[in-house]
Amino acid sequence: MSISLSNISKSYKKVKAVQNISFYVKPGELFGLIGPDGGGKTTIFRILTTLLIPDSGTATVAGFDVVKDYKAIRKSVGYMPGRFSLYQDLTVEENLTFFATIFGTTIEENYDLIEDIYVQIAPFKDRRAGKLSGGMKQKLALCCALIHKPKVLFLDEPTTGVDPVSRKEFWEMLKRLQKKGITILVSTPYMDEAALCDRIALIQDGEILDIDTPNAIVSKFPKTIYNVGANNMYKLIKALQHYEHLYSVFPFGEFVHYTDKRDSFEVVDLKSYLEKEGLTDIHIESTQANIEDAFMELAK
């Protein structure tokens, strides 16, 4: 296994950051840790990159133990933390040269790995890193994390606060890196990015809710979901919340996702209830669950 964790726990004073976390990542896999802020994602990254010692449990990365063999791990992994942490006062090129030198290599030696990312920032190679736009900083940080040709790449929320266009480009870069044989562990609070991973772990409040392929997680959703729409979203949500057969209702794009307590559910019943509540333009149709539906059901 490229990464394996067994019953890892870590507390900060009274706060339990992660509790009994176990999972593994296969060589060459693109594995996603999906969950909101405060879920424990960063703690897991710090333990795996040997920056933090777990209270209990064991973990290995590229076959090395995270406590005993920390030096070997540091040579074998690339880590892009959530917060931009390159040298703001060094230029793009100086930062990259610095990281290459630290790891005893040169930019030229592994240039093929970063080439398609680096060419996008090469026109600014003499600009100080602190003066780059968000998207360019992110690309430079990725180049620096890759320059020593790591076996395993750790990316902690690389797309947080990034617009959908840049996010899409970033994921395309990850897919290309994966094809080059690099194992990738990536975290994100954006549930739509889960579908782009081979397997995912849904994590909240320091505990894993489920681990599987995105499709399998979605297919386990226990209820039929209905897209419900009407002329007034606020009144619609209020009306559904007071409906006696309600199981759950959540806004989802232009509709709400509604699930019913009953096994046999008649669309006409709900429609006539909503009409009685004064709603018009009522639209009800069944739809597929997505990762967010699954996450919310598991997090209940």
Q: How many CB atoms lie within 10 A of CB 85?
A: 11
Write out the two tokens for 219: 């297919």
Which range in 17-25, 157-165, 171-179, 260-268 contacts other proteins by CB under 8 A? 157-165
Q: Where are the alpha helices (DSSP H) in the chain?
A: 41-48, 70-76, 92-102, 111-121, 134-146, 164-179, 214-219, 233-241, 267-276, 291-299
Q: CA triplet 212, 213, 214: central angle to 5 degrees?
A: 110
Residue 34 or 61: the one with the smaller Cβ distance to other proteins is 34
Q: Is 204 a binder of other proteins (CB under 8 A)?
A: yes
Residue of the chain from 109, 112, 115, 163 that contacts other proteins (CB under 8 A) = 163
Residue of the chain from 136, 182, 185, 217 that contacts other proteins (CB under 8 A) = 136
Residue of the chain from 90, 162, 246, 267 that contacts other proteins (CB under 8 A) = 162
Residue 16 or 151: the one with the smaller Cβ distance to other proteins is 16
Binding to other proteins (CB under 8 A) within 210-239 occurs at 232-235, 237
| Shortest distance, position 137 Cβ to other proteins, whole Å | 11
Q: Is 191 a binder of other proteins (CB under 8 A)?
A: yes
Q: Is 117 a binder of other proteins (CB under 8 A)?
A: no
Sheet holding 246-252: strands in order across? 246-252, 255-260, 225-229, 283-287
Binding to other proteins (CB under 8 A) within 245-284 occurs at 250-254
| Shortest distance, position 12 Cβ to other proteins, whole Å | 13
Q: How many residues interact with other proteins (rule CB under 8 A)?
A: 37
Q: Residue 43, exposed/middle/buried by CB under 10 A (0-12, 13-18, 19+)?
A: buried
CA 34/CA 69 separation, integer angstroms: 28
Q: How many CB atoms lie within 10 A of CB 84?
A: 15
Which range in 68-76, 102-110, 175-183, 190-198 contacts other proteins by CB under 8 A? 190-198
Which range in 54-62, 107-115, 265-273, 289-297 contacts other proteins by CB under 8 A? 289-297
Q: How many CB atoms lie within 10 A of CB 10?
A: 22
What residues are paired with 285 via a beta bridge? 227
Residue 86 or 236: the one with the smaller Cβ distance to other proteins is 236
Q: Is 116 a binder of other proteins (CB under 8 A)?
A: no
Residue of the chain from 87, 94, 173, 189 that contacts other proteins (CB under 8 A) = 189
**Closest-CA residue to 208 (of 12, 53, 83, 57):** 57
Residue 31 or 295: the one with the smaller Cβ distance to other proteins is 295
Binding to other proteins (CB under 8 A) within 30-49 occurs at 35-39
- For CA atoms 85, 89, 92, 97, the dihedral sign is negative
| Shortest distance, position 108 Cβ to other proteins, whole Å | 26
SS (H, E, C) 113-182: HHHHHHHHHHHHCCCEHHHCCHHHHHHHHHHHHHCCCCCEEEECCCCCCCCHHHHHHHHHHHHHHHHCCC
Contacts with other proteins by CB under 8 A lie at 35-39, 133-136, 160-166, 168-169, 189-192, 204, 232-235, 237, 250-254, 292, 295-296, 299
